[in-house]
Homo-oligomer: A and B are copies of this chain.
């Protein structure tokens, strides 16, 4: 089975959460965000109209309120992945005869006898997946309970990664490197990007499965591990392209990435490939991208303002005359989500601290030609930054030989 954070680490996280509530005189924490529930329990659930919440009383084990579609599944996964949830209250389905929020209020007030709840979502359930109903904060207030907002406390906890987390991210990075290696071998002119994705993914997933016996991501069903997303030739000039209208051709710039989920964590590794001998234009743009990347890596160090990294890249871009070709900031935090704080952006107000993990991926994008971007994942240490993903960076090692 794939590794994941230990029960001890989950218990430390829960203690931090309880301490925060306790400081404000609250006796229960209410968590509705799916990623946060995962962060405290190693349990993840497919998001639909049916809400799900984690209750963390100060003096007893965490409890989950869940739709019966998760019956058996929660108990099974709780046992397999850390076992911090001791009780589950099931409701049949949404909208049901009693609203989820009324049920949650009953459990909190009557069953658990809480007087003050600190929570991450006033409404009690995420409306984005279809849930509509009364607000939990309102229902609790009407029953004489206090509601306090947890704000971004969980994001704060997630910001500095532990050694256990770093190991998972680094392991994701190792498989990502293997995936790009296979993608480079598999790619041929005439193929569609999704053929490369499916063929390379099949091969690497088999290797991962044989290694872990079996490979079991915690948050997602097993899916492709090579991402291509239509970054083919002129379409790669759109950093968030979704498809290309044509197969891969000789001369194309390709954007390929990977970062398989390991125990709920991700690294990000992306490379710019070129199909066949690169022309001089491509060589020059590729070289500019490498220089921007170097500027970013050199600017990153513990204690440095995060915004300075993005500023350093903009300065280098100005020097090279490619400011107009930038399309996004230098990078983003990564961990249990693929994008999370800190954002390596000129407007992000914080300093780099040991344990922060983020991508460095300045890119330049030339309409009609293509996009040039490598992405690697780094962690801030006491001494500097450490690169968690490794793969060749030079153009000559990233050529698809037709």
List residues of chain A with CB under 8 Å of any chain B CB. 1, 33, 44-46, 48-49, 67-73, 76, 92-97, 126, 128-130, 132, 152, 192-195, 197-199, 201-202, 205-206, 209, 214, 216-224, 227-230, 237-243, 245-246, 326-329, 332, 337, 339-341, 343, 345-348, 365, 367
Contact = CB atoms under 8 A, between A and B. Distances in A.
A258 to B, nearest CB: 14
Contacts of A216: 243, 245
A150 to B, nearest CB: 13
A240 B69 contact: yes
Given A216-B243, A239-B69, A198 B192 contact: no
Of residues A95, A97, A242, which shows the largest number of chain B Cβ atoms within 10 Å of its Cβ? A242
Nearest to A195: B202
A228 B239 contact: no
A130 B214 contact: no
A1 B67 CA distance: 40
Contacts of A223: 194, 223-224
Contacts of A205: 194, 198
Contacts of A126: 128
A216 B232 CA distance: 14
A31 to B, nearest CB: 14
Given A239-B69, A240-B45, A328-B67, A95 B132 contact: no
Contact of A73 (B33, B45, B67, B241): B241
A215 B238 CA distance: 19
A1 B345 contact: no
How many copies of this chain does one complex carry?
2
A221 B198 contact: no
Given A239-B69, A328-B68, A192 B221 contact: no
Given A92-B328, A217-B243, 20 more contacts: A44-B242, A49-B339, A68-B326, A69-B240, A71-B365, A72-B365, A72-B367, A93-B328, A93-B343, A93-B345, A95-B345, A96-B347, A97-B347, A128-B128, A129-B339, A130-B339, A192-B214, A194-B223, A198-B202, A223-B223
Contact of A228 (B193, B219, B221): B221
Given A49-B343, A67-B328, A128-B126, A242 B230 contact: no
A341 B130 contact: yes
B214 A242 contact: no
A343 B198 contact: no
A329 B93 contact: yes
A234 to B, nearest CB: 10
A93 B330 CA distance: 10
B243 A68 contact: no
A366 to B, nearest CB: 10
B194 A240 contact: no
Contacts of A73: 238, 240-241
Contact of A343 (B95, B326, B343): B95
Nearest to A340: B130
